[in-house]
Amino acid sequence: MRFGYSLTTLAAWATVAYMALGLSLVVYVLWFWVLKYIDASRIAVYHNVQPIIATAVAVLWLGETAGLVFIVGGVVILAGLIVTET
C-alpha cells in the first residue's frame, strides 16, 4: 500500500503532532502525577468512566449519533467490567 506523504496538508500533520504530543505525552504525565497522590484502585474507577464521557462529548458537542446497537454494546461492556471488578 502506498501513500503520498507530499500531498498531506499542514493541518493533517498538525493533527498527528497533537495526537502524539497532546493526547499521549500530556495524558501519561498527568496519569503518573495523579498516581503520586491517589491510589491506583481509586483512579481505575475513573478510567472506566472515560468511554462514557467520550460518548457524551461526541453526541453533544460533535453531533454524532449513538444508535441502539452502540448503546447496547456499551451497556454490555460496562456490565462485563462491573462483573469482573466486583
pLDDT band at 4 (very low <50, low <70, confident <90, very high): confident
For residue 76, what pLDDT is reported? 93
pLDDT exceeds 90 at position 66:
no
The CA–CA distances, whole Å, from 23 to 2, 27, 28, 80, 84 equal 27, 6, 8, 27, 28
pLDDT tens by residue, 13-63? 998 888 888 778 888 888 889 889 988 888 877 777 778 888 888 899 988
Asked if 65 and 59 touch (Cβ cutoff 8 Å), the reply is yes
Phi-psi region of 66 (alpha: psi -120 to 50; beta: other; left: phi over 0): beta
For residue 7, what pLDDT is reported? 86
Question: Cell 461526541 appears where?
Answer: 58
For residue 60, what pLDDT is reported? 92
Q: Which amino acid is at 51?
A: P
